Amino acid sequence: MTKPLIFGLLALLAACAGRQSGVPSEAKPDSWVETTLRDLTLEQKVGQLIFPRAGGVFVNEDDPRMIELLQAARDGRIGGVVLFAGDPYETSAIVNRLQEASTLPLLIASDYEYGAGMRVNGATRFPRAMVLGAGGTERDIEFQAEVTAREARALGVHLLLNPVLDVNTNADNGVIGTRSFGEIPERAGRLGAAFIRRAQSLGVLATAKHFPGHGATALDSHFDLPVLRKPRKQLESVELVPFRHAIEADVAAVMPAHIAVPALDGRDDRPATLSPDILGGLLRDQLGFDGLVVSDALDMGGARKTAWDGQVAVDAVKAGIDALLVPPDPLVTYRALVRAIRSGELTEPRIEASVRRILAAKQRVDLNRRRTVNLADLSRRVASPEVQQRIEDMAERAVTVVHNRGRVLPLDGRASGRIFLIEIVDPVHRDEEPDLLARELERRASNVRRARVDAKEVSGTPGWLAAEPDERVLLVLGRMEADSRVVPEALKSSLSGESVIVASLDNPYWLAQFSDAAALVATYDDAAASKRALARAIFGEIDLTGKLPVTLSDEYPVGTGTVIPNRRMSLERVDKPKDAGFSDEGLRKVENVVRRAIESGATPGAAYLVARRGRIVLEGALGRATYEKDAPAVSSDTLYDLASLTKVVVTTTLSMIFVERGLLDLGKPVQSYLPEFRGQDKNMVLVEDLLAHSGGLLWWTELYERFEGRTPEEAKRGYIDAICELPLDYPPRSKTVYSDLGILLLGEILERITGKPLDALARDEIFAPLGMDEAMYLPPPSLLTRIAPTEVDPWRGRLVHGEVHDENAFGLGGVAPHAGLFSTARGLAPFAQMMLNGGAYNGRRLLNARTIARFTSRANLVEGSSRALGWDTPSEPSSAGLYFSSASFGHTGFTGTSLWIDPERELFAILLTNRVHPTRENRKIFDLRPAFHDAVMTAIVDVNIKRRE
């Protein structure tokens, strides 16, 4: 005898025994269930079966609906309620109010298919089920179950009206769609069972729906009665498979669908909700289910098709329904059931069998011991921010590239391209963040032009939907009503071809209409996480691994999905330099340049790193920490004082970030942020002048001497006041004079507009997102042996080792906008690669490519100046040498450091030295830098490298 058959027989025997006694297996004669049942009147027993609708929004105590609901609870005419939309505190307060009024504890149910956020504003909103079908794992669904169960209990909800176990095989199914895990029965069953087991282990009850399967229908049961015309054999091999998994997982409840299934009961005019053959013969007898059978909402058209509301309720109970959810009028339902019992149409033992199951469910979730919830727990247990990153990851793994003709995806974030975003939307389903996708694209592209088209009004192709020659069209299909899903032929024909990417944010079946487009992408959800995932996917920031969980057409069967790795958004080490276009001999010459400089006394030692096209081709270190013969050799782990590289890595980058966020306006006068910055012509100094060194400020002054002995905070206040009091050295934008003082003012502005200290901003906004673990202010003493010393400082009277070299930065405690950063060469590399990637690195986007282009191009605030915003560009002569392209940008540091980035050659070069040891008078670094960069460029062999013109 096979194992499934044995299981089926055992389940059948157990079920029959339970029904003959009328007592669920967990109920004992002396249990709370039985003692409570004995004390109930007939009317109260009937009341236990009724679960009316309840809102979760504030209502006045004199609201007629609330008065009626409270009275029903007091009279024992309801066994629970089904909660709909609301807010956390209002939802829980209403639950408590009803529980306190009710004679018996109420079983509170709600539909949390994609988390409590489906019904409760501000609670956690998980992706729709098909997202998990496309890229999720059982661990993902268990995580969703954990969070959903925790939040449900905090809100006062005990019965989850999910998971959805319908196997969606009909492209025209408008009621299930992405609520389903997909069309693979076993996968849907495994995922559903994983949710059930985990959620129920944490104190809630789960519901498997919509039995025996709503996924192959076309009509919407909210409005009509669909008929599932499938032979029994197909139902057994497809529709029923997930429900068998659920029953094996001990699911607490099953919800039948308002659909007719002739193969199961011989009728096409009766929904499963009202069918004794389906609920009794199949669900209980054959599948062995003895838990709660709860109806789908009885106010839906599919339930009310053939009888009046009171008779529907009576027929549902006769068929085997235990809990009548959302009857159109609870009082009508209650009276109809009482009449049916008194007339003999229903029996009291039949009612008692359902009451036992309902009371057993209440006992299972400890309602016999505690009914109410503590509202003070909500802020701790609902909407934990830690959950969001996992949700983002789930959304990313689901993104499916259905096809990618011509390898149009991913777009190059470094190219700063133009996008024409066309959104086909249904006003009924516009979410609370209609501009989110556009904002995400604007962070990545140089320009985003946008059109929003009402799906129900599109009848042709408006002329204004035509793309411009240099634009990439992104057509996004949002969530729509069933009658909006057929896209007009004229629109489809004009939005196909090599420049068009079509993305579906909801139902993936729509993509089959656009098979001529260059690329088709599905996200299966229109939530914020899926919109962000779509933007990341389009620009190659994430690996694309999703697979279709449903069949779109013969051309796109289930399992279709093009795997696309992320576009070199993180660095990797290359074993063969020629794979990145370098010659081995050329790279040896680079090292020889550094070696000869060390031998000539340009610096005691140096660390260097060169990368091209996302690959590190050269990384190493030569020399020693000092000129002493027994000094330790430097290595790739040696930390160097970066000096003025701090300006670009920290201060300029923060400025870019806050410009994008609208917190910083480069065109505003400095006075608008620092009112104390007053004096002749100072009203003309703009924030951008501080970055471009064109604001008229003195280049440097010994502030550290004036405020010696002050605390860092006192010194900073003194520095800013002193700089603000200084007269301008020249009229704004009349010339360029490199100025630390201007950068000090900019750092103060950044701290004021954010309310956070500079080192915290650098850590949270730059270092942590990029994984720059070895970039830091104030390195701890434990790292001292890894830090290259700098100067023997006459002012401090000692060798500067492990503390910032710049005196003004030292006076500020080592944290300053112009100096103070320490790092290894490898520690800086992610930052440089992020700049080359157009603002993204390792799946995180820090900046928009357009913003990078703005800050790294010559600012032209002063005619002929090489200065960009914060950055420098090659001048003649340049520390970048002769071969870095005109598109290059970089910066140097006084201690002997430099970083140059060439987007044209997809390359960056880092050189770190402590050339100021033992004295800053050593100026040989000015020969080393250009020689180093020239050697790097001439080592490239796969393109013709010419001198910069």
Which sequence positions are flagged as catalytic?
222, 296
Side-chain-side CA neighbours of 425 within 13 Å: the count stands at 17
* CA 605, chain centre distance (Å): 44
CB 879 within 8 A of CB 892: yes
d(Cα 126, Cα 390) in Å, to the nearest integer?
Answer: 10
Exposure string over 514-548, b if 16+ CB within 10 A, otherwise e: bbebbbbbbbbbbbbbbbbbbbbbbbbbbbbbbbb
Residue with the two structure tokens 């499938």: 230
- CA–CA distances in Å: residue 569 to residues 124, 832, 839: 30, 11, 9
Name the H helices within 630-711: 645-646, 653-660, 687-692, 703-706
Tell me, what DSSP letter sits at residue 564? B
Residue with the two structure tokens 């009147």: 41
Q: In 3D, which of 895, 870, 868, 892 has the Cα closest to residue 881? A: 892
d(Cα 548, Cα 565) in Å, to the nearest integer?
Answer: 18
CB 177 within 8 A of CB 169: no
Provide the Cα torsion 201, 203, 209, 212; round to 10°: 60
CB 828 within 8 A of CB 776: no
Retrieve residue 17's tokens: 């025994």
Q: What share of the chain is helix, strand, coil (3-state, %, to 5)?
A: 40, 15, 45
CB 673 within 8 A of CB 690: no
Residues in the chain: 949
Q: Where are the beta strands (DSSP E) in 335-415?
A: 400-404
Residue with the two structure tokens 């929904």: 271
- One-letter amino acid at 67 equals I
Retrieve residue 405's tokens: 């003709």
What is the number of other CB atoms lying within 10 angstroms of the CB of residue 592? 12
Side-chain-side CA neighbours of 547 within 13 Å: the count stands at 11
Retrieve residue 203's tokens: 């104190």
What is the 3-class SS of 438-465, one letter each residue?
Answer: HHHHHCCCCEEEEEEEECCCCCCCCHHH
d(Cα 641, Cα 913) in Å, to the nearest integer?
Answer: 9
CB 313 within 8 A of CB 298: yes
CA geometry: angle 907, 545, 384, nearest 5 deg: 95
What is the number of other CB atoms lying within 10 angstroms of the CB of residue 446? 18
CB 533 within 8 A of CB 523: yes
DSSP 295-326: PSPTTSTTTSSSS-HHHHHHHHHHHT-SBEES
Residue 918 preceded by cis peptide, ω within 30? yes
CB 806 within 8 A of CB 499: no
Name the H helices within 251-293: 262-265, 276
- One-letter amino acid at 244 equals R
Provide the Cα torsion 665, 666, 667, 671; round to 10°: 80
d(Cα 532, Cα 523) in Å, to the nearest integer?
Answer: 10
- One-letter amino acid at 363 equals Q
d(Cα 911, Cα 594) in Å, to the nearest integer?
Answer: 9
